[in-house]
Structure formats: C-alpha cells, structure tokens
C-alpha cells in the first residue's frame, strides 16, 4: 500500500503469547481509550503461537470505540519482533506503533506521540522514565543501551527505547525491508529519519508472567550487534592483535630469563594456561564468525520472517461491513 492511499489515524499492534489472564483487560483499556481521542484508532492483535485460548477471548470481546480491529494468527511462534512486522504490514492508517498486552506502557503515549508525528516528526521514541523491574533486568537494560549507543545506533536512548511511533515513511520502509533475526526498533532508529524522544512512567505488569526470558534477551543482544554493528568482527581483530603482542612479549621474557638464569625450569603450568586462553579466544572468535555466516546463509535462503495462518477483521460498533476471514 503506497503512502497516499493510507488513511489518517493510528494503528497499534499488540503482539501476544498465552495472555489469556489479561487480554480482556487489554482489549477494554484500548477500546475505552479510543473513545477519548479525536482520531481513528486501529488495533491489530497478533497471536504469536498462543495455546491457551487468548485469541478466542479477543474474538468474543465487544469492541465499541475502536474503528478497526484485526486478529492475525501465526502458524507458530516467531517472536515479538516478527509479530510487530506482521502487524505493520497490515496497518491501514498512516501512523503506526506497538504496545504490550500486559499494559505496562501508559496508554496515553499513543496520543502524545501521535501529536508529535503531526507536528512533523517521522518517529517518536518512547523512553521508560521509571518502571519497577528487578535489578538484573535494570542492569541488562543499562548495559544493552550503553553498548548500542557506542557501537551500533548512536541515537539509541540511554533509558532504553520501549516503543516507537512512526509515520507512513517508516511504515513503508519496514514493510519493504522485512528482516529476520533483527530488531524492529533498531532498524527504525538506524534509518535516520527525523525523530524526537518522550519519557513516560511505565506500570507494573497487569497480570500473567513475562515471556521476556533470559534466552530471548541473549538472542536480542546477539541479533542487535550482528545485524547493526561490525564491532564483534573488529573485536576479533583487536583480541588477535593483543594476544600476538602478549605472546611475543612473553616469549621474549622467557628467552631472556632462560639466558640469564639457565637453571630456571620450563613453566608447564604457564604454557597450559596460555594454551587454554588461546584456544578459548579462538573458539569465541569462531563463534562470532559463525553468527555472521549463519545470518548470511539465512538471508540467502530468503525464508519468510513469519508465516500467517489467518487474518480476521472483527466488526466493531465504530466500523461498518461484515467480518472478513
């Protein structure tokens, strides 16, 4: 869909995975909020492989204020970033964003950011001003943000960007450049369009358990650097150069020491330590190179970032027409 065919309004994509406990409250909150704003709102719920009946709850919910509601169902779990891409691909309005189904984001950010877009910005980054999270999560966020700003995306927020509201230019950009093993937020930031940042106080999770597991954090960390930075490859060169200098210095020291002190025994423990260190660094380096090779191979296969099994448009009181399956 080209830009001139898009209607004015805001599309919010809501990815979810097994959120039966809180999805009804999410639907209610978004629907009620739609009645307080003076622009049309479209909600696209993306089922990222749920098995607990979350989608059925959405389908039965009686939406009154939202103009358009869609439910996209994946064939299997592809991850939240793939879900955001799928929702963006089906967005009908000229401004788009995403939010979690756990209601951690203050829903007011939708209107605040939408106004900023209408003032001429292409993207609005929503930064977490405060949120109650564990020390481990806070530490991960700070380290991730710092490394992102230094080695990948210089304009990445120091407080961590949770959501991005973006206009039709970036909608078309994302839809034309669907990447696997990548971050939607970093891709939008790296595009370099005119942007601004707003800070909001986030809430605690409404219900359920976070699906943001340690393994997903590690994958995001690796994906972010491999997709948007050459730092890991550069790091291999720097470590190799450092090890060469260290080895040369140690070799010279050993030779000189042996000449000056012939009785000094050979250091087997030192040799074993150096070998272990060297093999460890070599394997880490091979692992980093393998990450790049795997992503190159993945891109060459050109497999889809997600597979949609069903798209359903739900009729609301604010809309007209029949359901389309």
What φ, ψ does residue 69 adopt, rounded to 5°? -135, 130
Residues paired with 313 in a beta bridge: 70, 324
- Span 113-169, pLDDT tens digits: 999 999 999 999 998 876 555 555 666 666 767 777 776 666 666 666 789 999 999
Beta strands in the chain (DSSP E): 7-16, 41-47, 68-74, 93-98, 123-130, 161-167, 195-201, 308-314
List % helix, strand, coil for the chain (3-state, nearest 5): 50, 20, 35
pLDDT (tens digit per residue) in 1-56: 444 478 999 999 999 999 999 999 999 999 999 999 999 999 999 999 999 999 99
pTM above 0.85, yes or no: no
Instruction: List the single range of 102-106, 175-179, 269-273 with lowest mean pLDDT.
Output: 269-273
Q: What is the C-alpha separation between 200 and 248, in angstroms, rounded? A: 53
The string of pLDDT tens digits covering residues 168-227 is 999 999 999 998 878 898 899 888 899 999 998 887 766 656 655 667 667 766 776 666
């Amino acid at each position: 869909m080209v830009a001139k065919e898009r209607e004015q309004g805001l599309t919010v994509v809501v990815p979810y995975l097994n959120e039966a406990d809180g999805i009804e409250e999410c639907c209610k909150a978004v629907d009620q909020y739609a009645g307080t704003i003076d622009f049309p709102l479209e909600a696209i719920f993306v089922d990222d492989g749920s098995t607990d009946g979350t989608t059925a709850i959405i389908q039965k919910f009686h939406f009154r204020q939202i103009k358009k509601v869609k439910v996209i169902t994946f064939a299997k779990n592809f991850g939240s970033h793939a879900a955001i891409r799928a929702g963006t691909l089906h967005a009908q309005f000229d401004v788009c964003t995403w939010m979690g189904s756990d209601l951690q984001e203050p829903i007011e950010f939708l209107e605040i950011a939408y106004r900023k877009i209408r003032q001429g910005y292409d993207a609005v980054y929503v930064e977490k001003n405060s949120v109650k999270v564990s020390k481990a999560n806070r530490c991960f966020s700070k380290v991730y943000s710092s490394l992102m700003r230094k080695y990948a995306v210089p304009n990445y927020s120091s407080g961590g960007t949770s959501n991005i509201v973006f206009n039709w230019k970036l909608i078309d950009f994302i839809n034309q450049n669907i990447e696997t093993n990548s971050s939607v937020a970093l891709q939008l930031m790296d595009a370099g369009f005119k942007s601004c940042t707003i800070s909001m106080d986030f809430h605690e999770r409404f219900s359920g358990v976070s699906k943001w597991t340690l393994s997903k954090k590690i994958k995001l960390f690796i994906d972010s650097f491999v997709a948007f930075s050459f730092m890991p490859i550069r790091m291999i060169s720097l470590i190799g150069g450092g090890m060469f200098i260290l080895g040369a210095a140690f070799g010279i020291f050993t030779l000189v020491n042996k000449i000056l002190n012939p009785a000094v025994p050979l250091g087997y423990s030192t040799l074993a330590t150096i070998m272990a260190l060297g093999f460890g660094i070599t394997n880490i380096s091979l692992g980093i190179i393998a990450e790049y090779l795997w992503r190159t191979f993945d891109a060459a296969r050109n497999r889809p970032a997600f597979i949609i099994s069903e798209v359903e448009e739900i009729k609301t009181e604010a809309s007209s027409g029949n359901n389309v399956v």
